[in-house]
Structure 1
Amino acid sequence: MKTLYTLALSTALLLGSLGTQAQKRPDGPAFPLGSSQTLVQQLESQVAVGTAQRAKPVVSLRVSAAKAMAGQVNYREDLAATGEFLQGEIQGVPGSSFSLRIDGKEVEGHIILQKTKQAYRYSADSAGNVQVQEVDINNVVCIDYNKPLGYQEPVSAGNSANRTTVVLLQSLPGARGCVLLDFDGYEMPAGKGWNQGRAYSAPASGIENDEARVREFWELVSEDFRPLNLNVTTDEAVFNTYATTMRIRCVVSPGSVGTIAPGTGGIAYMNSFLAFNDTPCWVFMSSPKDGGEAASHEVGHTLGLSHDGRTTPNEGYFAGHGSWSPIMGNGYYTPVAQWSRGEYANANNTQDDLAIMTGTNFNVGYRADDHSNSTTSATALARSGNSLSGRGVIERATDLDYFSFSTAGGTATFNVSGVSRHSNLDIAVRLFNGSGALLGTYDTAGANNLNATFSTNLSAGTYYLQVDGVGQGNPATDGYSDYGSLGAYTISGTAPAPNTTPVTGVATVYRDCNYGGAATSLAVGDYTLAALQSRGILNNDISSLTVNSGYEMVLYDDDNFGGAALTLTSSTSCLVNNGWNDRATSLRVRTAAPAFSRQLRAEFANVNYGMQAEACTEGGRNMGYIDPGDYLVWNSINFPSSGSYLIEYRVAATRASTLSSNLNGSIQLGSTAIPSTNGWQNWTTVSRTVYINAGTYNFTVFAQTGGWNINWVRISRVSARPTVDAEPATLAPAPAFDPTPALTLYPNPATDRLNVTSATDLQGAQVSILGFDGTVVSRGTFNGETVDVSTLKPGLYTLVLTTTDKRKVVSRFSKE
């Protein structure tokens, strides 16, 4: 037993008027009944004596010091030594019922006397001390809620000979909670809280074979609960997959039959969505509009909602004003019935319906937001020729759904509409240009005008639609706010398709992988988000690209070339492999820097020269990575004339340590302490000016500890004459040129795939990957572009490529 629930009854006299019970009487004094276990012993003793004397035992239900009621037990469940569960009726009192359940220290129950409009509630504190208290019947039973004036059950148009089961429908498959609309009859077991604890055979609704009416009934209830994480279904098999504390059955049965609730339109226990024994709620009208409104109303009770009435005039159910009414009032007569928080004049109930139903008590919550609330991640409208379409749900009053589209320019026409019948969503649409400036707001005024339609002339470019739920009129007197203006919508429109004919360029970007979808050719240049959008390229919408030889494309995470970056010098069939699918916001197309080789030979004149490679994700150029205790060597650098040279290299430190460098081992350029930067955004430039005789040298950088990424190396000729106190160096001969091909690895650290580039064709080379201890952990054949490292554990590895002419190429990398 985990919840306390009370009865919410909607009585229905066919031609009666709405009830006037708006003023609530105060609760009476609480009467103590002792401990829960004492009460269990008393009840079990009375049941035992009563069973021996008669067919149905009678227990004494004390409600005050001077008054006790005789409860005839129609259903009993023995909850072992610490519990007892009884349901039945008060002897000699027509229309009465009681339910009392004790489980350890937890107690819940009630007595209902419908004729005299009295109710009592049982409860216990945390120590198990039980009390009973007279409460206002409106807190337990909702009375005088009539059917519509002149209501008659519809005659079914269905053909039972051609259909053997109700049409199976679901509003949100896989949702957290479930509401079953049960149209085809229900065999209710005893102990479900109804029929004074007895079993009951409920007849079918009469429309179970009428697909059109069942579907409309279901649509109305589904739309009311659309904002919640609830699946409204007609499929009992789906309902049975949910836990009993995460579902409610709403039985639709013909008007006021049997003894469940004679003369009523619907009935439900308050909070019974969490009922321990799968207690259903009931609706006794099968017409789609009236029965659907009653079903949402009764399910609302099971999720903790009370009735919406007024204090002046004194009434229990507010029928609304204008075109609007509250669902927990009387929604029969208005086209728009929404959840409410009592914003109308003289409201007797200001509870926040949505906050209560989505609160932690029921664990249902709101459904997930389906579209971005900003232009940054707007959903692209689907396009077929000049036609555009989309759909979504406004889940909360604060929800704003954004969509994007591009056009070649001309007339654009849109219609944004809620569901075709029984919509709760009053729609406003706002149109923005590619820079985010508001161009217009479209909201059709007037009662019953919930949809938005507009037509406007646009220049070529990218635009955004914002869909919003809004109010209408004055919530106090003739309208409603945006509080309950929620639900599903569809977008349909036309706009001239953008020109997709390729322009002269050196690179092309594609919307889909494998060079599919919309394609746009780009010339050399810098492209901000606005520049891309003007060419029909949406934000975060590039999945593959081609780049001509001699050029490169740099993708950026943020607008205006900010954030992380990725440089590509060749075509890429799917950016998923690089971790950049649907990620680029701005980009550059430029002439590519020459590919880097460790055997790079630089011919110097009286100018500056830089040795650079492909861009690394942390910015700048990646010359290579040095592990602790390792070194990098650039072989055979030619200095054409003697003189003073400034040698600089830029590094990113992973932790503080010392870096040393030299030429041919003879000219020591010194050691420099490199501070830790905790990342790749801060750089340290190491520089030394030395006098060098003309000749060929090897440049070496050695990491004593730690580890660095060499960003770039630059050698500048400062002067043809020696600096003060500088002596010409006597150099050892440069070693012979090593023809081993050099590798460039990126990204490094790698995630799933390691891109490998080289000035030498390595197609068909044998691949070996060695772990930190030298053990071979992976083998394969090189495909000429990438190496799969997805199965490797995080750590440091050595990549060995053995070429077809038996040369070995070795480089290290790390796996994230």
Structure 2
Amino acid sequence: MKSNQQKQSKNPAQRLLSSSLLCALLSTAFSAGAADTLAARQEIGSADALIRSLVSQHANPNSNANARVAGSDDIAINKNQQFDNDITDYHFKDGVLSVSGKARGVANSTFYLKGTAKNLHGYLIKRDQKKAYEYSTDAKGIVSVTEVPISKVIPDLDEGWLKATTVNNLAGAIHPVYSTMALRQARHIGPYNNEDVTKLESKPGSAWVFYLNHSAVMSGTTPLNGVTKENMYRAWQIVADQYSMYNINITTNPAVYNAAKSANILRTGVINFVNQDGRSNAPLSSFGTTSAGTLYRNPSSGFDYGYGIGMTAAHEVGHQMGMNHDRGGSGGEYFEGIAAYQWGPIMGNYWMGANWASSRWTWSKGEYSTASNFEDDLRIMNVNESIPYVADDNPSGKNLAVDAAGNISPSTNFGQIEKTGDTDTFNFTVTGNGKLDLKIDPIEYFGMLDVDAKIYNSANTLVASSNKAVNRSAEFIGLNLSAGNYRLVIAGGAEGTPSNGFSNYSSLGYYGMKGSLVGSTPPVDVMLTSGVGLANQSASTGAWKYYAIDVPAGKTSVVFNINGANGDADLYSQLSVKPTTAAYKCKSDGATSIETCTVNAPAAGRYYLGVYAYSAFNTLTVKATVN
């Protein structure tokens, strides 16, 4: 069945769907006069039958609401107003269901259900009554409903906890500092640069989308309440940082969200900024539905709006992804982190790190000694919610980009550690007595990466290593290297022990490199400037001439061309290494010395242009243009 969404109509004949799957909830255990104690588990039929019932109702919204649905295992639709639900959003495709709505007649309520005939799961929440009900599916495919504490479904409700926890921690709070190497290597990296904050996207084109709906705290493109556009950018940026290892587009653009929701609501989520103060919260496991989290506008109290709201958003989105609090230590429900390593779980008490200059808040699987929640956060997002990791940007090694003067620039030397245990390799050659000065920084504003770097020689012997304690960077200063080939290997770092410190489990994110290498192999004859032709080039038959140009991230194309009146010059280009006639990104090898080739949507890095003299040429002009 094609994806559909049912929206409320003013015509009574088109009123919202009445959910038959709730009929069996209406036993005396759930009646309006029942005791306040949590009710026992109640079976309401097979998941397959409930799905077919909803499909039938969606196809025939005007059918008799009290009639039995054919093939529904005798599940009747009960009209008791206590548990009758209105469905406002509906999606059913390839056997997977997502419905959202509220309890009919209960304004401050939320209902959502998603899954397949093997595993339907969801909740009904009545906030004013402080009641919640969980739908779950057993191994036989039978769905049951159980009243549960509302704190299980909306973990962050205690207003007093926020005030008591933050009042003494926010004075003198230390905000993260952008690395000088943060140069837009990805869309979410680097300081605010006058972007339209209503159209931010971290991964444009991804089918997975999470929408930060800040329309209630904006007037057009201008934030309300004296909040700056830079604050709003940072709030979005922090969420993008925390989820950057996944192929999910964190966006503030409603058109992007609506398009993704129409295509497949199960790949989307939404959290709403609201223009009032309160305790931010989000319904558990509501990703894949339209049931939204809530971000309240609170006084900064030492955290600016962007930093405080951004951290809170990352935490609440975590709940929507299905993660509970990381508990333990003196923090109880919210683990307060380990001050000695300035580390804590983002699903714990991230406010406690307000005065840590090098704080790292990451996903967790309960490795610290006082943990009582052993959920694997990364697995929950990747497996339970089916959000894919981004592709490995360095699966088999790259050449370290070193210019003719020996400079190593972060605009062309950067990467991402995408998964636990991932490593990135950069190769380089020293021709004489060399010296390396190199710093490797995490470059995300509120990132998770702790950099570990090692250098090996051609015999695979470890030459040097660096993982600066409670600093997150790695650095090599005046490292003397003899002639030979070397590998720089970058990985997510760890400090202390997993029980008292942190492992590399969630040491993930982007890094950049800056420094110099004296005595390295000159990579090219000439560095080109975009759009500027280099004239009077010549070569004898069978010879190569090499050139290079650095291409930043986010460019649409790089065009290479040569123009000469004699001989036969052939054109080849390659990323990171010099091209050959067998290995290239693009080529042009016609019978003259007038050739052009283009690399569209180029990855950031150094592109090498090789000109091969099939027959001798002179007075040739070489040019590369980055668009």
TM-score relative to the length of structure 2: 0.60
Question: 1:418–1:451: 8 Å Cα contact kept in structure 2?
Answer: no
Per-residue CA deviations over 1:17-49 (Å, capped at 9, x if unaligned) read xxxxxxxx99943344796489999x9999799
Aligned residue number for residue 279 of structure 2: 264
Is 1:320 the counterpart of 2:341 in the alignment? no
Rounded Cα–Cα distance in structure 2 between residues aligned with 1:252 and 1:84: 23
C-alpha displacement of 1:399: 0.8
C-alpha displacement of 1:341: 0.3
Which has the larger Rg?
A: 1
Name which of 272, 275, 278 aligns with 1:251.
272
Rounded Cα–Cα distance in structure 1 between residues aligned with 2:115 and 2:398: 52
The aligned amino acid for 1:493 is G
The aligned amino acid for 1:471 is A
Rounded Cα–Cα distance in structure 2 between residues aligned with 1:252 and 1:225: 19
* Equivalent residues in 2 for 1:479-558, closer than 5 Å: 479-496=501-518, 498=520, 500=522, 515-517=545-547
The aligned amino acid for 2:266 is T
Aligned residue number for residue 403 of structure 2: 383
C-alpha displacement of 1:366: 1.0
Rounded Cα–Cα distance in structure 1 between residues aligned with 2:507 and 2:294: 27
* Equivalent residues in 2 for 1:311-710, closer than 5 Å: 315-322=332-339, 323-334=342-353, 335-359=359-383, 361-372=384-395, 377-383=397-403, 385-389=405-409, 390-407=413-430, 408-419=432-443, 421-445=445-469, 447-477=470-500, 479-496=501-518, 498=520, 500=522, 515-517=545-547, 574=572, 580-581=582-583
The aligned amino acid for 1:251 is N
| Structure 2, unpaired ranges of 5+ | 4-36, 68-76, 174-193, 299-304, 354-358, 526-537, 549-567, 592-613, 616-627
Secondary structure of 2:496's match?
Answer: coil
Per-residue CA deviations over 1:543-602 (Å, capped at 9, x if unaligned) read xxxxxxxxxxxxxxxxxxxxxxxxxxx99765999862269xxxxxxxxxxxxxxxxxxx
C-alpha displacement of 1:86: 8.4
Cα distance 1:236–1:111, how it changes in 2: closer, same or farther (>3 A)? closer
Greater strand content: 1
Secondary structure of 1:344's match?
Answer: coil
Per-residue CA deviations over 1:253-312 (Å, capped at 9, x if unaligned) read 3344xxxxxx42232x3333212xx333222247222211111112222222222112x6
Secondary structure of 1:70's match?
Answer: coil
C-alpha displacement of 1:465: 1.4
Question: 2:444–2:510: 8 Å Cα contact kept in structure 1?
Answer: no
Rounded Cα–Cα distance in structure 2 between residues aligned with 1:247 and 1:84: 11
C-alpha displacement of 1:351: 0.9
Question: 1:397–1:485: 8 Å Cα contact kept in structure 2?
Answer: yes
User: Which piece of structure 1 moves more, 111-120 or 394-403?
Assistant: 111-120
Secondary structure of 2:281's match?
Answer: strand
C-alpha displacement of 1:495: 1.4
Aligned residue number for residue 300 of structure 1: 318
The aligned amino acid for 1:321 is I
Secondary structure of 2:497's match?
Answer: coil
C-alpha displacement of 1:509: 12
Cα distance 1:452–1:168, how it changes in 2: closer, same or farther (>3 A)? farther
Question: 1:74–1:88: 8 Å Cα contact kept in structure 2?
Answer: yes
Rounded Cα–Cα distance in structure 2 between residues aligned with 1:404 and 1:104: 48
Question: 1:185–1:204: 8 Å Cα contact kept in structure 2?
Answer: no
Aligned residue number for residue 224 of structure 2: 206
Cα distance 1:582–1:210, how it changes in 2: closer, same or farther (>3 A)? same
Question: 2:212–2:252: 8 Å Cα contact kept in structure 1?
Answer: yes
Rounded Cα–Cα distance in structure 1 between residues aligned with 2:238 and 2:64: 48
Per-residue CA deviations over 1:352-407 (Å, capped at 9, x if unaligned) read 11111111x4332111111135xxx3333242522113111111221111112334
Aligned residue number for residue 134 of structure 1: 147
C-alpha displacement of 1:342: 0.4
C-alpha displacement of 1:415: 0.5
Question: 2:448–2:509: 8 Å Cα contact kept in structure 1?
Answer: yes
Aligned residue number for residue 97 of structure 1: 109
The aligned amino acid for 1:252 is F
The aligned amino acid for 1:481 is S
Question: 1:203–1:253: 8 Å Cα contact kept in structure 2?
Answer: no
Aligned CA RMSD, in angstroms, stands at: 5.1
C-alpha displacement of 1:216: 2.1
C-alpha displacement of 1:339: 0.3
Name which of 265, 273, 279 aligns with 2:287.
273
Per-residue CA deviations over 1:84-131 (Å, capped at 9, x if unaligned) read 97844587x9x9635377999897653335467542224567998653
Rounded Cα–Cα distance in structure 2 between residues aligned with 1:226 and 1:89: 36
Cα distance 1:47–1:396, how it changes in 2: closer, same or farther (>3 A)? same
Aligned residue number for residue 172 of structure 1: 203
Is 1:183 the counterpart of 2:195 in the alignment? no
Per-residue CA deviations over 1:228-276 (Å, capped at 9, x if unaligned) read 11222333344344233222223223344xxxxxx42232x3333212x
Question: 1:397–1:484: 8 Å Cα contact kept in structure 2?
Answer: yes
User: Which piece of structure 1 moves more, 364-373 or 108-117?
Assistant: 108-117
Cα distance 1:217–1:110, how it changes in 2: closer, same or farther (>3 A)? closer
Rounded Cα–Cα distance in structure 2 between residues aligned with 1:266 and 1:444: 36
The aligned amino acid for 2:214 is F
Aligned residue number for residue 16 of structure 1: none
Rounded Cα–Cα distance in structure 1 between residues aligned with 2:307 and 2:510: 18
Cα distance 1:580–1:386, how it changes in 2: closer, same or farther (>3 A)? same
Question: 2:98–2:288: 8 Å Cα contact kept in structure 1?
Answer: no
Question: 2:211–2:254: 8 Å Cα contact kept in structure 1?
Answer: yes
Rounded Cα–Cα distance in structure 2 between residues aligned with 1:114 and 1:326: 28
Aligned residue number for residue 246 of structure 2: 228
Rounded Cα–Cα distance in structure 2 between residues aligned with 1:84 and 1:502: 56
| Structure 1, unpaired ranges of 5+ | 3-24, 50-58, 63-68, 155-162, 188-200, 257-262, 519-569, 584-751, 757-783, 786-816
Rounded Cα–Cα distance in structure 1 between residues aligned with 2:376 and 2:364: 7
Cα distance 1:412–1:239, how it changes in 2: closer, same or farther (>3 A)? same
Cα distance 1:431–1:394, how it changes in 2: closer, same or farther (>3 A)? same
Rounded Cα–Cα distance in structure 1 between residues aligned with 2:516 and 2:116: 66
Identity in percent: 25
The aligned amino acid for 1:266 is N
Rounded Cα–Cα distance in structure 1 between residues aligned with 2:388 and 2:337: 27
C-alpha displacement of 1:755: 13
Aligned residue number for residue 70 of structure 1: 82
The aligned amino acid for 2:345 is P
C-alpha displacement of 1:453: 4.6
The aligned amino acid for 2:280 is G
Question: 2:110–2:291: 8 Å Cα contact kept in structure 1?
Answer: no
Aligned residue number for residue 12 of structure 2: none
TM-score relative to the length of structure 1: 0.47
